[in-house]
Amino acid sequence: MLRQIRLEDMDTAARVVRADHALPSLAGLHTPSEDQWFFRERVFETCEVWGAFDSAGMTGMIAFQKDWIDQLYVQPDAQRRGVGTELLQVAKSSFDRLQLWTFQCNVRARRFYEGKGFARVSGPADRPAVGDPCRNGSACLIDEV
């Protein structure tokens, strides 16, 4: 089931983000309390936020605003079951065109978006980065085509 998330759901949304460790090098960058504050005070206040739910609770979340996806995360045990696609469709049905940033090293996310009609429009070339590319700011802009 998909529904718009209420303020009281934002702590759960922050936990979904923490559980999706697509980039282990970023895990632990913020405390759970900092994540909860960010989702309640920043994400909820500036974005339309939707969640996907099953009988066990929230399985994924998306936060978007005009033409821009701010956040899209899916619980690891719910990935590859269409949850991300359903959430993305909510944002796509709201706007003619969408953009987002993703880390260059997040190959799984890039493949997901490319499979949904997005393409990289700017960012570093596909080559090994020196050090940790996620910490070195190697992000790329993804645009719906």
pLDDT tens digits for range 87-136: 999 999 999 888 888 877 788 888 899 899 888 777 655 444 444 445 44
Residue 60 has pLDDT above 60, yes or no: yes
For residue 140, the cross-strand partners are 102
Report field, pTM of the whole predicted structure over 0.85:
no
For residue 51, the cross-strand partners are 3, 61
Q: What is the pLDDT of residue 97?
A: 87
The whole-angstrom distance between residue 82's C-alpha and the CA centroid of its chain comes to 14
Q: Can you list the domains of the chain with their CATH numbers?
A: 2-144 (3.40.630.30)
For 45-57, how does the pLDDT look when each residue is reduced to its tens digit (9 = 90+)?
Answer: 999 999 999 999 9
At 47, list the tokens: 């974005």
Residues 6 or more apart whose CB falls under 8 angstroms from that of 143 comprise 97, 98, 99, 118, 119, 120, 121
Alpha helices in the chain (DSSP H): 10-19, 32-38, 44-46, 83-92, 107-115
